[in-house]
Amino acid sequence: MESVMDRTALFRDHVDHVVARTNEALRAYAQKDAGCEGIVFHAGKMLYHHADDQPFPFRPMFHFTRFAPVPGPDHLLVVRPGSAPKLYRVVAQDFWHEPPAPTGHPFDEVLDIENVESADAAIAAAGDLSDCAYFGNAPDVARKLGIDASRVEPELLVSLLDWDRGMKTPYEVDCIREACGTAANGHLAVRRAAMRGASERELFATYLEATGFLENETPYGSIIGWDENAATLHYTSKRVAKPDPGYVLLIDAGTSCFGYASDVTRTYATASAPAEFVAALDAMDDLEQELVNKVGPGVGFIDLHIDAHRGVAKILHETGIAKKSADELYDLGLTQPFLPHGLGHHLGLQVHDVGGRQKTPEGEIEAPPEKFPSLRTTRELAVGHVVTIEPGLYFIPMLLDPVRAEHPDAFDWDLVDRLVPCGGIRIEDDVLVTEAGREDLTRGLIPGHREPIDG
């Protein structure tokens, strides 16, 4: 009961904050552009497979969920300066489908809600919104609301609100924290089952069982890969076969809480893994924690990313995988094929949350350095940001083969060949930027691979 009360108070403050920020965005938009008198946030329309009556799994539009964590499509939320936000909530009369299960969220204690029976009834109840902007996936709904195409997600207004989503409110942090907690149950159960030699598919079932989530309820396709499958960055097939050889398991899996995601990766080596791989894994875990400990307000994420590459260079050198010095490896760009993704990204309602490349609230973009095109986050860190820190070191033949041809003496290629069946390493924590520096939201819940766990 106490935590429900706490969440109600947190959510009330969150809505007040988000309304105030939205009103400010509307003022800024009116100064620079045509302006509008409010915004209608549409949960969105359900989308269907082509020529079929089967829908894709539905997720309400994220700007909508920020105000109203109400499952299901078609709801409208109208925000106008000077009045409380109004939610037109669709509770369909439908004997084919049940309404979404109650979520336990106290939104109905905080928001002004009018229940309606259909999408069209919501549009009729909302009335003439021609002076508003529309956010959502259905331009035809905007048209029915009288909203001109020029006011469908106006770029400046989107940038202003995306920027603002970077700074999480205490309510949002509370949700992400809870999502880390449920993910931890799954990660710990998977670690135990992996050490018994369970298949990827069995491990995924274990993850769902331990978290209490359905597959479509996780914020992204869970990555559970044995051995060389760990080298496919977004591997999601989940094989039925038992692991063979069963050297390494990589699990990258999260859950969500009222729409807010966790995104956590651990890599485990079994007793049969090559010693050089285990040495690299231990060193990567140390590197990840060093990088986490550099997170803080005012820190440039590009600098952290460069530190990650310099750290990987050192590990490649010290494990004997590379024959060149760490500086030479970095200067020649030879860490990139081993770490081809960015160090991390903002985390929130979207697992790869918005605004990571924004330099200003108005939407000026800071592109990643040419050398690191995959870096999603170039934004300077600020208090309230939640980011992932996820360095990796992989043995990906399609990236390493050209390096082998061009730099035959730079690496111990026999050793690389022995490590290819191990796939790779990624270690990922979710980190809140605080006044004092940071809080690692995951480490205390999901220990590193060297720390023992019960069972």
- d(CA 28, CA 24) in angstroms, rounded, equals 6
Q: Point out which residues bind ligand GLY (CB under 6 A).
A: 220, 252, 263, 390, 428
DSSP character string of 59-128:
---HHHHHH----SS--EEEE-TTS--EEEEE----SSSPPPPP---THHHHSEEEEESSHHHHHHHH--
User: Measured from the CB of residue 263, what is the shortest distance to ligand GLY in angstroms?
Assistant: 5
Number of H helices, E strands in the chain: 13, 15
* CB closer to ligand GLY out of 69 and 356: 356
* CB closer to ligand GLY out of 156 and 264: 264
Comparing every residue's Cβ against ligand GLY, the nearest one is 252
If contact means CB under 5 to 8 A according to the sort of partner, which of ligand GLY, Mn ion, none does residue 58 touch?
none
**Distance linking the first and last C-alpha atoms of the chain:** 32
Q: 22, 350, 388, 442: which one contacts Mn ion (CB under 5 A)?
A: 388
Query: E strand or H helix at 133, and its extent?
Result: strand 132-135
User: Measured from the CB of residue 405, what is the shortest distance to ligand GLY in angstroms?
Assistant: 30
- Phi, psi angles (nearest 5°) of residue 452: -70, 155
* CB closer to ligand GLY out of 89 and 357: 357
User: Measured from the CB of residue 223, what is the shortest distance to ligand GLY in angstroms?
Assistant: 6
Q: Tell me the sheet residues that pair with 253.
A: 264
Which residues from 36-75 bind Mn ion, rule CB under 5 A?
none
Binding status of residue 228 toward Mn ion by CB under 5 A: no
User: Measured from the CB of residue 144, what is the shortest distance to ligand GLY in angstroms?
Assistant: 36
C-alpha 326, offset from chain centre: 31
Answer for the pair 259, 348: CB distance below 8 angstroms, yes or no.
no
* CB closer to ligand GLY out of 74 and 200: 200
Extract the runs of DSSP E, i.e. beta strands, from 284-428: 386-389, 392-394, 424-426
Q: Per the omega criterion (within 30 degrees of 0), is the bond before 245 cis?
A: yes
Binding status of residue 442 toward Mn ion by CB under 5 A: no
Q: Which one of the spans 6-14, 29-37, 90-98, 425-433 is the region binding Mn ion (CB under 5 A)?
A: 425-433
If contact means CB under 5 to 8 A according to the sort of partner, which of Mn ion, ligand GLY, none does residue 220 touch?
ligand GLY
Q: Tell me the sheet residues that pair with 430.
A: 388
328 to 367: interface string for Mn ion, x by CB under 5 A: ----------------------------------------
Neighbours of 374 (CB within 10 A): 13
Please report how the helices 275-292 and 301-318 are oriented relative to each other, as an axis angle in degrees rounded to 10: 160
Exposure string of 240-270, with b = 16+ CB inside 10 Å and e = fewer, is eeebeebbbbbbbbbbbbbbbbbbbbbbbbb
Q: 178, 200, 202, 252: which one contacts Mn ion (CB under 5 A)?
A: 252
User: Measured from the CB of residue 376, what is the shortest distance to ligand GLY in angstroms?
Assistant: 8
Binding status of residue 263 toward Mn ion by CB under 5 A: yes
- d(CA 342, CA 388) in angstroms, rounded, equals 10
- d(CA 295, CA 313) in angstroms, rounded, equals 21
If contact means CB under 5 to 8 A according to the sort of partner, which of Mn ion, ligand GLY, none does residue 353 touch?
none
* CB closer to ligand GLY out of 159 and 218: 218
User: Measured from the CB of residue 87, what is the shortest distance to Mn ion in angstroms?
Assistant: 31
User: Measured from the CB of residue 322, what is the shortest distance to ligand GLY in angstroms?
Assistant: 25
* CB closer to ligand GLY out of 39 and 343: 343
* CB closer to ligand GLY out of 154 and 342: 342
* CB closer to ligand GLY out of 38 and 219: 219
* CB closer to ligand GLY out of 126 and 386: 386
- d(CA 1, CA 230) in angstroms, rounded, equals 42
- d(CA 37, CA 127) in angstroms, rounded, equals 14
* CB closer to Mn ion out of 324 and 376: 376
User: Measured from the CB of residue 170, what is the shortest distance to ligand GLY in angstroms?
Assistant: 25
Q: Tell me the sheet residues that pair with 391.
A: none
User: Measured from the CB of residue 253, what is the shortest distance to ligand GLY in angstroms?
Assistant: 8
User: Measured from the CB of residue 222, what is the shortest distance to Mn ion in angstroms?
Assistant: 9
User: How many Å is the Cα radius of gyration of the chain?
Assistant: 24
Binding site for Mn ion (CB under 5 A): 252, 263, 265, 388, 428
